[in-house]
């Protein structure tokens, strides 16, 4: 049996646009994902989050399901456009009420809420009127929105995550254009990333000055990163793998720990990488109370001088021409339905890399999981491959802890099948199966396995 530390936090996660539906109810304004889904060809089969899991109406039943598997914690996100329909100004009472009731329901069931303030569903008005994350003004807008959330929910919410995966927002939203707002550029990702970091820092500053002492919570940021293993033992490939992780993760983690971008990025991106003002540097440095990590996959990295060979994998390491890194996967590695390679030891190596670079920070894995297409047979869903995946990744987490990493919790993505962005409803990450016609939920074998694991604090 793999036993975890007594206080290890076992959770599961979702996000607003992926599960709530009710896209225009309760005074909610449109978000960039509501708009993006209407653009022909952007989302598989023209699907959208209009209804999704109808969680907005079914949240009480969903909390019951969480209680059934014994979750300690539930990570969800707040839709900014429910709180401020135009992204600015007075809070919308119905939006406040919805999240307030959800939080109360969780607490009544002994489930600790972990709240993400931004999981990609930017109020459309801020995109149309202000160019979204390209405009420096957004840092103040985001901080004002965060202030409203701290004020209304902070008496009960003690765990805040400012942003989910600024890398995805920047690279997939402004570089490759496969996510909202669908822009393609080799400079905008660095500008968007810069303003995302500033927004994070301004929100944390408000929390720390106005709320933290009184409310007694913690606040941090969640970044995503895959592991990059050197393709060969050559010095060049080792450097390429290191460079790839810096372009992926240190891009956002160095500023929040050290107040600056990694040297390798400054040297290579040159004037397309903005620089921080002294004020911003000061606010960024040490602006996270924990390291939030979303981790899914591993690739091999080789040096690729002058970007001569092209990596063509969805969700690759970013703007590859800036990195001169060629990414590949081993044929024998098993892949999920997203074509992401299942390499559990990659998770341990990444945790150790973080531990080393940032001086043993407390780490929470805020997402890990896999898409497999299994559906119900005679009312049951046998997703043994997901159970195997979880065993593999959790074993390596356990080993990382044994090796000295301060890993404090794990949130399984996802609590239920949901709207998987550009892939629509076809990619199923949930430990609960969702029938999107009837909205019936069926716990998969992995949900029962996870319940046992939580109960035993190991497996
Ligand atoms: C994360 N990539 O997204 C998100 O936080 C979730 O909302 C999402 O459902 C989950 O992972 C599964 O996709 C990512 O291309 C999307 O590297 C793309 C990438 C990574 C994470």
Contact 252, 194 (CB under 8 A): no
Give the ligand 1 atom nearest the CA of 15.
7
Q: Whose CA is closest to atom 16 on ligand 1?
A: 168
Residue of 112, 5, 2 whose CA lies nearest to 406: 5
Distance of CA 386 to the CA centre of its chain: 19
Q: Residue 310 burial by CB count (10 A; 0-12/13-18/19+): exposed, middle or buried? A: exposed
- Ligand 1 in reach of 315 Cβ (< 6 A): yes
Task: Say which residue the tokens 């007594």 belong to.
Answer: 6
Contact 31, 94 (CB under 8 A): no
> Domain locations in the chain?
9-456
Of 43, 111, 109, nearest to 76 by C-alpha is 111
Is 392:454 a contact under the CB 8 Å cutoff? Answer: no
Count of beta carbons in the 10 Å neighbourhood of residue 5:
14
**Ligand 1 centroid – CA 178 distance (Å):** 12
Please give the number of the atom of ligand 1 that sits closest to the Cα of 420: 9
Report DSSP letters for 320-349, one per residue: HHHHTEEEE--TTS-B-TT--B--HHHHHH
Instruction: Please tell me the distance from the alpha carbon of residue 41 to that of residue 371, in angstroms, as a whole number.
Output: 22
**pLDDT of 308:** 62
Q: What pLDDT score does 56 carry? A: 99
The residues, any chain, with a CB within 8 Å of residue 449's CB and separated by 6 or more, are 387, 390, 459
Contact 287, 270 (CB under 8 A): no
pLDDT at 313: 52
Q: What is the pLDDT of residue 77?
A: 99
* 3-state class (DSSP) for residue 27: coil
CA 299 to chain centre: 19
Q: Are 49 and 419 in contact (CB under 8 A)?
A: yes
* Cα distances (angstroms) measured from residue 323 to each of 77, 189, 304: 32, 14, 8
Fold of 9-456: TIM Barrel (3.20.20)
pLDDT at 312 (0 to 100): 54
Q: Do 273 and 250 touch, CB atoms closer than 8 A?
A: no
Expressed in angstroms and rounded, the spacing between residue 342 Cα and the centre of ligand 1 is 15
Whether 367 lines ligand 1, by a CB cut-off of 6 Å, is yes
Report the nearest atom of ligand 1 relative to the CA of 371: 12
Nearest-angstrom CA–CA distance, 58 and 129: 34
At 317 the pLDDT is 64
pLDDT (0 to 100) of residue 1: 74
- Among candidates 291, 256, 447, which has minimal Cα distance to 365? 291
What local confidence, expressed as pLDDT, does residue 2 receive? 86
DSSP classification of residue 271: G
Give the residue, by CA position, lying nearest to ligand 1 atom 19.
Answer: 315
pLDDT < 70 stretches in the chain: 306-317
Cα separation, 174 vs 182, in Å, equals: 6
Query: Is any ligand 1 atom within 6 A of the Cβ of residue 280?
Result: no
- For tokens 């606040």, name the residue: 219
Q: What pLDDT score was predicted for residue 309?
A: 65
Express each pLDDT in 380-413 by its tens digit. Answer: 999 999 999 999 999 999 999 999 999 999 999 9
What region, left, alpha or beta, does residue 315 occupy, with left being phi > 0 and alpha being psi -120 to 50 degrees?
left
Catalytically active residues, by annotation: 165, 367
Looking at residue 306, its pLDDT comes to 67
pLDDT of residue 310: 65
User: Would the CB of 284 count as within 6 Å of ligand 1?
Assistant: no
Q: Give the rounded distance of the alpha carbon of 73 from its chain centre.
A: 16
**Would you state the pLDDT for residue 321?**
82
Indicate the average pLDDT of the chain: 97
Query: Coil, strand, or helix at residue 372?
Result: coil
Question: What gap in Å lies between CA 392 and CA 372, rounded to an integer?
Answer: 16
Tokens 């707040």 identify what position? 78
């Amino acid at each position: 049996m793999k036993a975890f530390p007594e206080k290890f936090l076992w959770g599961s996660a979702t996000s607003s646009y992926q599960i709530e539906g009710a896209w225009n109810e309760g005074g909610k304004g449109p978000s960039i994902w509501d708009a993006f889904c209407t653009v022909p060809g952007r989302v598989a089969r023209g699907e959208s989050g209009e209804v999704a899991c109808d969680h907005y109406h079914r949240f009480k039943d969903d909390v019951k399901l969480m209680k059934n598997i014994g979750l300690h914690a539930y990570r969800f996100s707040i839709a900014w456009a429910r709180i401020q329909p135009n992204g600015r100004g007075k809070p919308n009472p119905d939006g406040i009420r919805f999240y307030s009731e959800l939080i109360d329901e969780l607490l009544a069931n002994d489930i600790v809420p972990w709240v993400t303030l931004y999981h990609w569903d930017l109020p459309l008005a801020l995109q149309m009127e202000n160019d979204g994350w390209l405009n420096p003004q957004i840092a103040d807008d985001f901080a004002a929105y965060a202030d409203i959330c701290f004020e209304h929910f902070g008496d009960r919410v003690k765990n805040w995550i400012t942003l989910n995966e600024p890398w995805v927002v920047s690279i997939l939203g402004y570089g490759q254009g496969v996510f909202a707002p669908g822009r393609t550029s080799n400079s905008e990702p660095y500008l968007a990333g810069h303003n995302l970091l500033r927004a994070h820092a301004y929100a944390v500053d408000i929390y720390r000055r106005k709320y933290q002492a009184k409310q007694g919570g913690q606040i941090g940021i969640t970044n995503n990163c895959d592991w990059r293993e050197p393709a060969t033992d050559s010095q060049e490939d080792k450097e390429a793998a290191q460079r790839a992780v810096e372009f992926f993760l240190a891009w956002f983690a160095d500023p929040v720990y050290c107040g600056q971008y990694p040297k390798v990025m400054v040297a290579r991106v040159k004037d397309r990488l903005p620089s921080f003002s002294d004020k911003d540097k000061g606010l960024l440095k040490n602006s996270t109370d924990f390291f939030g990590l979303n981790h899914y996959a591993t690739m091999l990295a080789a040096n690729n001088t002058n970007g001569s060979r092209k990596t063509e994998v969805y969700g690759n390491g970013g703007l590859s021409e800036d990195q001169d890194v060629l990414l590949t996967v081993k044929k024998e590695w098993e892949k999920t339905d997203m074509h992401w390679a299942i390499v559990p030891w990659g998770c341990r190596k990444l945790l150790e890399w973080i531990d080393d670079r940032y001086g043993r920070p407390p780490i929470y894995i805020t997402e890990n999981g896999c898409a497999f297409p299994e559906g119900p047979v005679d009312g049951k869903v046998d997703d043994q491959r997901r159970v195997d995946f979880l065993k593999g990744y959790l074993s390596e987490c356990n080993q990382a802890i044994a090796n000295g990493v301060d890993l404090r919790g794990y949130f399984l993505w996802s609590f239920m099948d949901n709207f998987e962005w550009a892939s629509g409803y076809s990619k199923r990450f949930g430990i609960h199966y969702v029938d999107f016609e009837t909205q019936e939920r069926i716990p998969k074998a992995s949900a029962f396995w996870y319940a046992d694991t939580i109960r035993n604090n190991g497996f």
